[in-house]
Amino acid sequence: MKKHKEETIKALKATFPVFSGYIVLGFGFGIVLHSKGFGILWAFCMSLFIYAGSMQYVAVDLLSGGASLITMALTTVLVNARHLFYGISMIDKYKGSGKFKPYLIFALTDETYSLVCTEEGENSHRYHFMVSLFNHTYWVSGTVLGAAVGTAFNFAPNGIDFALTALFVTVFVEQWLSSKDHAAAITGVTASAICLIVFGADSFLIPSMILITAALTALRFIRKRKGDMKNA
């Protein structure tokens, strides 16, 4: 029990920066959702079961515009394609997580992935579960609060969706400051910039994820080989 309590407190402290981002970002989503004619229950259900910040913002326009199920499905795959690569890189870390595995897979957002990947020391799967659960709770709370405020007051949602970009920048800066190894961050920025120039703003996401994955895999192989040669 003491260990569980310590892990819960550690997870709470680790997710506090995400709390500030998710509350603000979720609040904005709730207001945007309400402005399109959807109420608090919609905000709660979408955040509880979809739980994808960028896709939820996109889904608001799809729902209000009467998009077909096929269009929504394809859009969801494209917008969240990066999570395929997240999942592949977490196979070893989440191996043997047992009863926690289904939720850990479901709740692997950008911010949760960032925290779990940059954590110091070895932590249990219960700790990973608590990090995921806290972040999920923050997001649901923020979106419901935003929808509730949007119901009570009239807000102009113009520019609110920029909070998503601001959150990604915050996560990047946090990763940069908390780690001495900036190879992954530099690789990500460089690959994204190259793909943005080559493929354009509407099509660069998936190619950049593939390029980043290939580059990081090659980097890991090179470092492992150097380590084996050093220990030989």
Better pLDDT: 82 or 188? 188
- Looking at every residue in the chain, the average pLDDT score rounds to 83
Say yes or no: 39 and 100 in one domain: yes
Say yes or no: 19 and 108 in one domain: yes
Q: Distance between CA atoms of 115 and 127, rounded to whole angstroms?
A: 11
Say yes or no: 193 and 139 in one domain: no
Lowest-pLDDT choice from 11-20, 207-216, 222-231: 222-231
Say yes or no: 129 and 64 in one domain: yes
Structure tokens at 61: 């326009």
Of 150, 177, 204, the residue at which a domain comes to its end is 177
Question: How many domains does the structure of the chain reveal?
Answer: 2
**pLDDT tens figures, 153-165:** 876 666 666 766 7
Q: Distance between CA atoms of 37 and 61, rounded to whole angstroms?
A: 11
Which residues, 6 or more positions from 213, have their beta carbon under 8 angstroms from its beta carbon? 85, 88, 89
Say yes or no: 184 and 173 in one domain: no
Say yes or no: 187 and 163 in one domain: no
In terms of Cα–Cα distance, which of 209, 198, 214 is closest to 81? 209
pLDDT at 129: 94
Say yes or no: 154 and 202 in one domain: no
Which residues, 6 or more positions from 53, have their beta carbon under 8 angstroms from its beta carbon? 25, 26, 29, 109, 110, 139, 164, 167
155 with 35: CB under 8 angstroms? yes
> Rounded mean pLDDT of 84-105?
87
Distances from the Cα of 27 to the Cα of 103, 112, 140, 188, angstroms: 24, 19, 9, 28
Say yes or no: 166 and 208 in one domain: no
**pLDDT tens figures, 34-46:** 888 898 999 999 9
Say yes or no: 97 and 201 in one domain: no
Q: List the domain range (segments joined by +) for residue 214.
A: 180-232
